[in-house]
A and B are shown apart, each in its own frame.
Chain A
Amino acid sequence: MRRSPSRVLSSGTTRYVAGRLGQALLALFGVVTIVFFALRLSGDPARLLVPDGATAADIDRLRDKLGLNASLWDQYLHFLGNALHGDLGYSYVQNRPATDLITERLPYTANLAVAALLLSLLFGVTVGVITALNRGKWQERVLMPIVLAGQAMPAFWTGLLLVLVFSVGLRWLPSTGYDGPLSLLLPSITLASLSAAAIARVTRGAVLEQLPLDYMRTARAKGASGFRLVSRHLARNTAIPVLTVAGLELANLLGGAVVTEVIFAWPGLGQLTIQSVSARDFPVVQATVILASAVYVVINLCTDLLYGVIDPRVSAGGKGEPA
């Protein structure tokens, strides 16, 4: 991480952003190259596509058609050349442009990710603040285990449990698929239960750090009249670590919540990822990786820039040390 001394919205910001994007492009190139070669180390897409009774010649014919009989190096150059023109190739399985496939799936994943993030922020920050202000009291002893339970239960378990209770038992909510906003509830709760713990922990830590500081002591001494002051200062000073973690969670969620999407038959990037990896649908996997990396970079950049907006004392990149 380069620590640019530039301030947000100052002339240096542009240079800072450009530098970050340049580095990101380099990282992206690395990711894509590794994935390209790693994918081709195991498994042959053609074998998965032909019927059981196919002969070796049938498989070879299909490999020719898919361009898999060229040397690895040629395939790589070909891929890079096309990628520069925005062409990430055609899905072997669906015979459609890989970029089309991922852009169709992106809105579903984005909806789910945002809903999950909002829920986990709501829950995580509340629990974090309550437990920090009541350190060692019963509130902490009750709330922390609940949040941790969410983290301790794998999504395939939480998700199905929710479905069994709210869809099969009570018939309140749809079980799988997307039929409107209500469908969003169960999968986003499932996802939020996984990330709420991280957010609660960060919030709690950040609030605890502020409590012994002078302004807090003063504010507390002033009693109720100081409440506004407390909340304002507290909010500003805890926002940065919380935002850092929230940004990371969002980036991860946007990469596709594989297990949750499988359980809820959610047509997002997570399902596409696991399906195209197991089908060795190389172009789609590559496209997914590129998209996920790009999303990660952009979100990181956004959180970095947001630091400056929230707290002008912080220079862009100064606290841009997302763990």
Chain B
Amino acid sequence: MMKRLRAAAGVRLPLAILVLYVLVAIFAPLVAPYDPDTTTLAQRLMSPDAHHLMGTDALGRDVLSRTMYGTRVSLLVAVVAVLAAGIFGVALGVIAGWRRGWLGAVIMRLVDVVLSVPFFLLAILVVAVLGPSLVNVVLCLALVRWPRYARIAYSTTLQTRDRGFVRAATATGAPAWWIVLRHVLPEVLPVTIVVGTLELGLMVVYEASLSFLGLGVQPPTASWGSILSDGQQYLGSAWWLATFPGLALFVLVLAVNLLGDAARDRLDPARRTDVRRSRIFKREVVTA
């Protein structure tokens, strides 16, 4: 009984929340009570009431509707940024780990280059040069984050390629791409997926910080980040502006983390009774 409850809290509840968020994102036009961009200057900064459940913002727009539409943008930014960074990083990391040699060295030096510039410095540079827009924010986050995945993929590939089953496959003369797909990627992906899940929430927070520095998505587009950063100067006078999108963000981060933990337990090779692989897996996840 207790066990089932715990399992529910561990997976089902966060999963339900995530599904709810995705549904809100997809069906925002149907569920949002108002148009998110319609300004009514005469009704600006109204506290929450029956008409505007989350109040209105500095241009008289409905905060609830904006938060709903913001879910779209924020989830999109987070998911696409994680996917792009993950795919790019894993691809490069696996290539570097499999081929080694000069190509591997070049790729891993590139990883060092990107990692050695502090996140915000790099993000500010990228957005300043490219100009702030939804696409560029995603691009910027992906550009900044891919080295993490590349590192994980690289070290996992290195460890995998020397293992018995990979050597055996190589000995049979199987083509490299097949071995990578069949044997290496299955080792790399579980770690990457766990790390990617954890990164999702972080991407939303980063997008918010970029918005605060004037480098986020374009007005009047609503994202949680843009609503939060618009609301920052009203924290002492109109608390509802930043509170609701902030809560939405918090619940997302919580859900995603619980899911990430669950995914780690589920994907952990320990379940497949391989202690050595399990330890490698845990170390990679933990320090990622």
Residues of chain A having any CB pair with chain B under 8 Å:
1, 23-24, 26-28, 30-31, 34-35, 38-39, 41-43, 136, 141, 144-145, 148-149, 151-157, 160-161, 164, 168, 201-202, 205-206, 209, 241, 244-245, 251-252, 254-259, 262, 270, 273-274, 277-278, 285, 288-289, 292-293, 296-297, 321-323
Q: List 15 A-B contacts (CB under 8 A).
A: A34-B113, A42-B131, A152-B249, A153-B205, A153-B246, A154-B229, A161-B235, A202-B287, A255-B117, A255-B121, A258-B120, A258-B209, A273-B124, A323-B152, A323-B284
Which 8 pairs, one residue from A and one from B, show the smallest C-beta to C-beta distance? Answer: A255-B118, A205-B286, A152-B253, A293-B116, A154-B208, A296-B116, A152-B250, A27-B112
Contact, CB under 8 Å: B232 / A322: no
- Enumerate chain A residues within 8 angstroms of B129, measured Cβ to Cβ: 38-39, 41-42
**New A-B contacts (10) at CB < 8 Å, excluding given A35-B117, A41-B129:** A27-B112, A28-B116, A156-B232, A160-B235, A209-B282, A254-B118, A257-B120, A259-B209, A288-B121, A293-B116
A152 and B205 contacting across the interface, CB-CB below 8 Å? yes
B193-229 CB mask vs A (1 if < 8 Å, else 0) is: 0000010011001001100110000000000010011
Indicate if the CB atoms of B253 and A151 lie closer than 8 Å: yes
B95 at the interface (CB under 8 A from A): no
Bound Cα distance A199, B120 (Å): 20
Whether the pair B121, A205 counts as a contact (CB closer than 8 A) is no
**Does B279 sit within 8 A of A, measured CB to CB?**
yes
* Alpha-carbon separation in the docked complex, A97 to B207 (Å): 33
Give the shortest distance, in Å, between A28 (CB) and chain B (any CB).
Answer: 7
Alpha-carbon distance between A43 and B249 when the two chains are bound, in angstroms: 34
How many whole Å from A131's CB to the nearest CB in chain B?
11
> Do residues B155 and A157 form an inter-chain contact, with CB atoms below 8 A?
no
What DSSP secondary structure best describes chain A's contact surface? Answer: helix
A314 to chain B, nearest CB (A): 12
B residues near A278, Cβ cutoff 8 Å = 128
Tier of interface size on chain B: 35 or more
B99 to chain A, nearest CB (A): 16
In the bound complex, CA of A202 to CA of B287 (Å): 6
How many Å from the CB of B273 to the closest CB on chain A? 14
Interface of B, secondary structure class, is helix
* Contact B201–A152 (Cβ < 8 Å): yes
Would you call B254 and A145 a contact (CB within 8 A)? yes
Contact A258-B109, Cβ < 8 Å, known A28-B116, A152-B254: no
Over the window 80-114 of chain B, the binary record of Cβ atoms lying under 8 Å from chain A Cβ atoms (1 yes, 0 no) is 00000000000000000000000000001110110
- Taking CB atoms, residues of chain A closer than 8 Å to B228 are 154, 156-157
CB pair B118 A256 closer than 8 Å: yes
Contact mask for chain B residues 248-288; partner A; CB cutoff 8 A; 1 contact, 0 none: 01101110010000000000000000000001001111111
A148 and B257 contacting across the interface, CB-CB below 8 Å: yes
Contact of B213 among A161, A252, A259 (CB under 8 A): A259
CB atoms of A297 and B121 under 8 A apart: no
Q: In the complex, are the beta carbons of A39 and B125 less than 8 A apart?
A: yes
B64 to chain A, nearest CB (A): 19
Contact residues in A for B110 (Cβ distance below 8 Å): 30
* Residues from chain B with Cβ under 8 Å of A205 in the complex: 282, 285-286
**Given A23-B112, A31-B113, A321-B151: A274 and B212 within 8 A (CB)?**
no
Contacts of B27 in A (CB 8 A): none
Complex: chain B residue closest to A254, CB-CB:
B118
Q: Contact: A148 with B254, CB < 8 Å? A: yes
Residue of B nearest to A293 (CB): B116
Q: How far is the CB of A298 from chain B (nearest CB, A)?
A: 11
Chain B residues lying within 8 Å of A244, measured Cβ to Cβ, are 287
Distance in angstroms from B94 CB to nearest chain A CB is 16
Residues of A within 8 A of B232 (CB): 156-157, 160
Closest chain-B Cβ to A187's Cβ sits at a distance in Å of 15
The interface residues of chain B lying within 8 Å CB-to-CB of A257 are 120
